[in-house]
Each structure stands twice: as C-alpha cells, then as structure tokens.
Amino acid sequence: MTAAAVFAAVFVALYIAHSVGDHWVQTSHQAAHKGENDRTPGQSSRAGRIACTLHVLGLTLTKGIALTAVVLVLDLPVTALGVAAGLGLDAAAHWWADRRSTLAWLAKVTGQSEFYSLGTPAHPAAPATAKGTPAAHLGTGAYALDQSFHHLFLGVAALLIAAL
C-alpha cells in the first residue's frame, strides 16, 4: 500500500471523527466554557483550561477509535510513533485554537479580523431583520476559521501518521 493511500484513508477517518467529536461528543458545558480566561469577566482561566482539556481528550479518543477501526479493517501500515505524533500534534493544535483568544489573535495578525467577526454584532454587515433585531444565519466567521484551522492540522496529522 502506498503512503498516499494510507494518508487518504487516515485523513478521511480523522475528518469524520473530528466532525463527530467536535459536534456530538463535546458537551454543551465544554463548548460554552473552553474559551474562558482571566480577561473574561467573572470567569477563570483554570475553568476554561479544564473544559478545553476535557473536550480535546474526548475528541482525541474519538479520533483514536475511528483511526483504529480504519487501520484494522484496511490493514494500514502505520506505526505507534506515527499515530502518537499525529494525534498528539492534532490535540495540541486543537486545544490551542479552542481557547478562542488564540484563534482571534491569529485572525488579527493575518488580517482576518473582519471575517472572524462575520455573523456577530461586531461585524460591519451584521445580519439583522427589517426590524433591526439580530437575524438568523448559518454560522460565524470565527466558526469557519476554527474549522479550517482544525482541518489543516488533520492533514498534518494524517501526513505524520502515513509517513512515520
């Protein structure tokens, strides 16, 4: 089996598991509190770090289960080192981005602050009804940038797993 085929199979497994882990496995509490920091009024960075850590643990376990199934069923030639490196880097990057202020900082330094605020009242073209109240929308720029960041690291993780 070629490394390219292993990369493709691993990426698909991680991508599916990411979607499940980020949206079904993550609890509402984790989603609401993982970005808390000492600059959040009335919040503590310890509570935010714990919520984010628990989210990433559940997410990484989900990815590990999906990856194990794909490796066993397809008899993929992966190593423990590759899996540890790939899932470890992915988990660290996911935790970093999900602390929220970090991804907002990255959006700022890359000139994406306006897109980051898309779909929120902070955006210059905030969605509003004819009455001026907030309008329903499909998501935010912050969410799109968050998922794009995670997808980048899923690709890096798949590459490490396939190559090591």
Domain housing 67: 3-163
pLDDT above 70: percentage of residues in the chain: 91
Residue of 149 and 1 predicted with greater confidence: 149
Tell me the residue length of the chain: 164
User: What per-residue confidence (pLDDT) applies to 85?
Assistant: 98
- Lowest mean pLDDT: which of 4-13, 95-104, 151-160? 95-104
pLDDT over 70 (residue 2):
yes
Cβ distance 74 to 53 under 8 Å?
Answer: no
Residue of 144 and 40 predicted with greater confidence: 144
Confidence label for 133 from pLDDT (cuts 50, 70 and 90): confident
User: What per-residue confidence (pLDDT) applies to 93?
Assistant: 98
User: What per-residue confidence (pLDDT) applies to 55?
Assistant: 98
User: What per-residue confidence (pLDDT) applies to 130?
Assistant: 74
- The residues that bridge with 134 in the sheet, in sequence order, are 128
What is the mean pLDDT of the segment spanning 142-155? Answer: 96
Q: In sequence order, what are the residues at sequence separation of 6 or more whose Cβ sits closer than 8 angstroms to the Cβ of residue 157?
A: 10, 14, 86, 87, 89, 90
Chain centroid offset of residue 146 CA: 6
Q: What is the mean pLDDT of the chain?
A: 91
Q: How many separate domains does the chain show?
A: 1
Confidence label for 137 from pLDDT (cuts 50, 70 and 90): low
